[in-house]
Structure 1
């Protein structure tokens, strides 16, 4: 079973794609957006990645979820299942291919520091970056059950680097 998109070499256009989407999301979240970060593998120069721009929107509160949901839908986003309490998720596919993922976390949510720290570690440590890339390519080539399998098999690597995530968060 295919992943949401195929892993490809790093693309120098990804930071500009993030900037363009960040500007649109600032309009959606307004003053509730405390920060918007480029996270995930497309935020790491030199790292092969699924060409899906990951954005982390840190919000003071989730605001009017119906209104935000409508604004996100107008940009082609679909609301996914909450990934944890205070961590909302949106995805956008174009012609069946995932192009963007948006994580919306309340200020202070444990995932914020985890996503930013892992991104920064990958940016700074070439050996870690190479090891992570090798794993991702192996997981893609052996994947039989789609993105859930890929994420589950990638998690132990991340947990080894970062420590396990908090329980029941």
Structure 2
């Protein structure tokens, strides 16, 4: 199907935020084992919708890390052969009940109407996927960095945020430091 398609066709060049900026409600919840079940349910839903497409599906983000408090939003990464070939995956995901939220270079985001599951789509081999997995795997195995990350999130949530992207950006320095330690640990 998409194996014959040229994956170098032009991608979008701007960020399209469907529905615009939304009111922000950020609240951390203690880790909930139901997040793993929700991931598995949506994994099956995505696999059924994209049965004709070669995809890889991973649970990422804080809900994928046992013991870590998180916003109750399950983040899922799906890799496709060609992110620009939306006809291969987007209509099927919309038909499965997801809504398009973000279209930007190299990345699409669909989510549930309840906004409790975010599905991030990337082209196979996109370094962003490796970054998600690096952070997830390290936080799963390193209690000190897991505690640091949770503490950082709790501190930031004590501030007022008008946009989830601003909150996410505020975590960047801590996440970068944690990922640097994760890379160092991988080398040893």
Q: Same fold (TM over 0.5)?
A: yes
Normalising by structure 2, what TM-score? 0.75
Is it true that 1:81 corresponds to 2:98 in the alignment?
no
Q: Which residue of 2 aligns with 1:52?
A: 73
For 1:83 and 1:33, the matched residues in 2 are separated by 22
Q: Which residue of 1 aligns with 2:33?
A: 12
For 2:85 and 2:105, the matched residues in 1 are separated by 18
For 1:108 and 1:64, the matched residues in 2 are separated by 15
For structure 1, the residue ranges without an aligned partner over 5 or more in a row are 164-169
Q: Which residue of 2 aligns with 1:91?
A: 111
For 2:92 and 2:67, the matched residues in 1 are separated by 33
Normalising by structure 1, what TM-score? 0.83
Do the aligned partners of 2:109 and 2:121 also contact (CA within 8 Å) in 1?
A: yes
Count the aligned residue pairs.
Answer: 159
SS for the counterpart of 2:70 is coil
Larger Rg belongs to: 2
For 1:100 and 1:106, the matched residues in 2 are separated by 20
CA RMSD of aligned residues (A): 2.1
Q: Which residue of 1 aligns with 2:8?
A: none
